[in-house]
Structure 1
């Protein structure tokens, strides 16, 4: 790759990293092309991305971004997973690393905070943003349902009492 191609790659990677809220650095020793393609497909489905880049170019791309401290993790055969969702890339990477021993989580960054491998694994166990929204809506909806049942119960009881008196009066 010539110099202009490298500069273009660094610029594109830097733009991608600036837009990402979460960056996960992984080591992939011996992953086949099919396995990397499978991982990329899973990342795309989750709204994340996976990029294999030379460590030197990735270090240059990290400069000036909020994930600048990740340069210390870039040793050996590394790749970068990234996502705008603060959990998506971590979930997919950790799940894939559990099923494939060739992929290891090295560390990552969420915003300006640098995380080690244990931090990324802990982040992956959190529910996604959609799951949290669903839980919140459920919590907000439950009291309203209970309130409707409670306020409707006395009126129903009153109607049953009047109905019983009416049947008694007819007999």
Structure 2
């Protein structure tokens, strides 16, 4: 699913990436838009196929939430393209990385792999808390190298709002 999310973002950010990351395959023209769409679509379908194949509601739910938030982050439609707003962008990152992935993987392993009853442990609470902190740092600093293109194309990241320094 991560390849879908990152690839979808690159499909919608070709012009921005020509400024910020001109060596990326789509921005450089190494990959055509059609080939990019094929890659992204293939990995989306494979992700959901694996989610169904594993017969794990927590894993499938994590895939679904990642798909929805990753799409809302990148897709240029009314009320979407959440990356334009620093708070919404950070919220997407935090929810998926810090909460959804941690809880879904934990529940999957506990219930569907080990067959244990669901008991939330201190280690899970620690992992979620740590990933909340880590994801917040990622959300705040991930766009530092991208400030020029983001500013030019109206992406109000934390870096654009606060400056690179």
* Fold equivalence (TM over 0.5): no
Is the radius of gyration larger for structure 1 or structure 2? Answer: 1
The two structures have a TM-score, normalised by structure 2, of 0.24
Structure with greater proportional strand content: 1
TM-score norm. by structure 1 comes to 0.24
